[in-house]
Amino acid sequence: MAVVLKSAQEIEKMRRAGKVVREVLELVRDHVKPGATTLDLEKVAEKRIAELGAKPAFKGYHGYPCVLCTSINSEVVHGIPSKKRVLKEGDIVSVDCGAVIDGFFGDAAITVPVGEKIAPDTERLLKVTEASLQRAIETVKPGATLGDIGAAVQGVVEAEGFSVVRDFVGHGIGSHMHEDPQVPNFGLAGQGMKLRAGMVIAIEPMVNAGKPGVRVLKDGWTAVTNDGSMSAHFEHTVAVTDTGARILTD
């Protein structure tokens, strides 16, 4: 599949979807507390997406059962909300949400601490992962390359002794949640496809406190770190404009 450039009008639709995703994520953040279950978060999100006149992007996607992915601690991505999963003080939970409006998608993720105190290294993992996303977004402009994005993420992450997950990548996004190109969180500056105005991509660093290896559990979805280390995930949907990046999910 080739890269599909978006018109200004299409990007406005994606902005509307992006705003829904942001509002839902911030609402879910407010509900993250010790004793809450990840199914509680799912219910809050499902209701709000409907109220905002959007459709969830994930539910039914390749059979995925929910509107959110909720991934706790050593879970990297694609954790399935469940009433059996009770959040506790010191945990971290990654919340990933996608929405569709008028046929166009928005996709974003945050990782949230549970309660008041998390371990200092875990706090640092969250800060560094978010910073790696911001640094990657700063590289975005016409003529920059996918390698510039990957190298930016990797540089920030590895300077702190953490590692970038390689088995999952970011992606183009538009009238489908996943479009070309793939957007790896590792690479070499100057290499790979050049960005053009009108491209829209989801940049989504997944960062492990330990080694980069991950595996998928028997549920067929939940990806976890092989070494049991903590993992964080932040994601924005970003349009390439003549002057640089426009974040559609802030």
* Residues between 79 and 98 with contacts to ligand MF3, criterion CB under 6 A: 96, 98
Q: What DSSP string describes 187-235? A: --TT-SPBP-TT-EEEE--EEESS-S-EEE-TTSS-EEETT---EEE-B
11 Cβ contact list (under 8 Å, min separation 6): 198, 200, 239, 246, 248
Residue 86: phi and psi, rounded to 5, are -100, 125
Of 132, 97, 110, give the one whose Cα is nearest residue 18. 97
Q: Tell me which stretch binds ligand MF3 (CB under 6 A): 8-16, 20-28, 59-67, 123-131.
A: 59-67
Does the protein bind ligand MF3 through residue 10 (CB under 6 A)?
no
Q: Which of 51, 53, 61, 119 binds ligand MF3 (CB under 6 A)?
A: 61
Does the protein bind ligand MF3 through residue 135 (CB under 6 A)?
no
For residue 9, the tally of other CB atoms under 10 A from its CB is: 9
Does the protein bind Co ion through residue 202 (CB under 5 A)?
yes
Q: Tell me which stretch binds ligand MF3 (CB under 6 A): 22-30, 57-65, 86-94, 124-132.
A: 57-65
Of 56, 62, 79, 107, give the one whose Cα is nearest residue 238. 107
* Residues between 81 and 120 with contacts to Co ion, criterion CB under 5 A: 107
If the CB atoms of residues 42 and 96 are measured against ligand MF3, the closer one turns out to be 96
* SS3 (DSSP) at 127: helix
Which option in ligand MF3, Co ion, none does residue 61 bind, with CB closer than 5 to 8 A by kind?
ligand MF3
If the CB atoms of residues 42 and 235 are measured against ligand MF3, the closer one turns out to be 235
* Residues between 165 and 184 with contacts to ligand MF3, criterion CB under 6 A: 171
* SS3 (DSSP) at 126: helix
Residue ranges binding ligand MF3 (CB under 6 A): 58, 61-62, 64, 69, 78, 96, 98, 107, 171, 202, 235
Residue ranges binding Co ion (CB under 5 A): 107, 202
